[in-house]
Structure 1
């Protein structure tokens, strides 16, 4: 679990515990207290849903950025490899030409 997730979870748990404790110690009738608990639970559920949605969007955005960065890096590496392959081919062609020239001397 990441640092942000632990922070959000800690905040939500602390909020829930504080709200329930506050309602339980308030001098109201049982029906009023239960209604307050239900309302607070719904509020917590709504805030959790918003936080989950926000976290999901954040993760999705991060993944898209990482993917784009990875694709760009891969393209860069492939381009470099292609240039290096061309350099190796050019060197091998020169060596082959030298070998052919030396071989012709021996064929006379």
Structure 2
């Protein structure tokens, strides 16, 4: 995510620097220079909006993927826990049968 941010900032800085240098060294009338500045600002703003949207989509995709992975891990954990609980119940039932048999023998004596 920080690499995308650095890339977006680098692009923005490059566009701004290029626009300013182009305006400063261009031999044009004031009205034409103002129009060029306005156009460059608009273009840079659109680029910034596009980069921000791309970054937002990238973050949203990453969060969505992590959410799906987390949901899968939770399902696996619940499934494993369920199997373990079933094993414990089975073991306890066997122990209960053994104790019942011993109790029957003791009651007969």
TM-score grouping bracket, smaller chain normalisation: 0.7 to 0.9
TM-score (norm 2): 0.86
SS in 2 for 1:11: helix
Quick one: distance in 2 between partners of 1:12 and 1:81? 52
SS in 1 for 2:26: coil
Instruction: Compute the RMSD of aligned alpha carbons.
Output: 1.6
Quick one: distance in 2 between partners of 1:90 and 1:58? 48
SS in 2 for 1:107: helix
Quick one: distance in 1 between partners of 2:6 and 2:26? 30
* Structure possessing the higher relative contact order (Cα contacts under 8 Å, 6 or more residues apart): 2
The unaligned stretches of length 5 or more in structure 1 are none
SS in 1 for 2:57: helix
Name the count of aligned residue pairs.
108
Quick one: distance in 2 between partners of 1:41 and 1:100? 87
Quick one: distance in 2 between partners of 1:73 and 1:87? 21
Q: Does structure 1 residue 67 correspond to structure 2 residue 29?
A: no
Quick one: distance in 1 between partners of 2:91 and 2:20? 77
Match of 2:103 in 1: 103
Q: How does 1:41-52 map to 2 (within 5 A)?
A: 41-52=41-52
Q: Offset of 1:26 from its aligned partner?
A: 1.6
Quick one: distance in 2 between partners of 1:53 and 1:4? 11
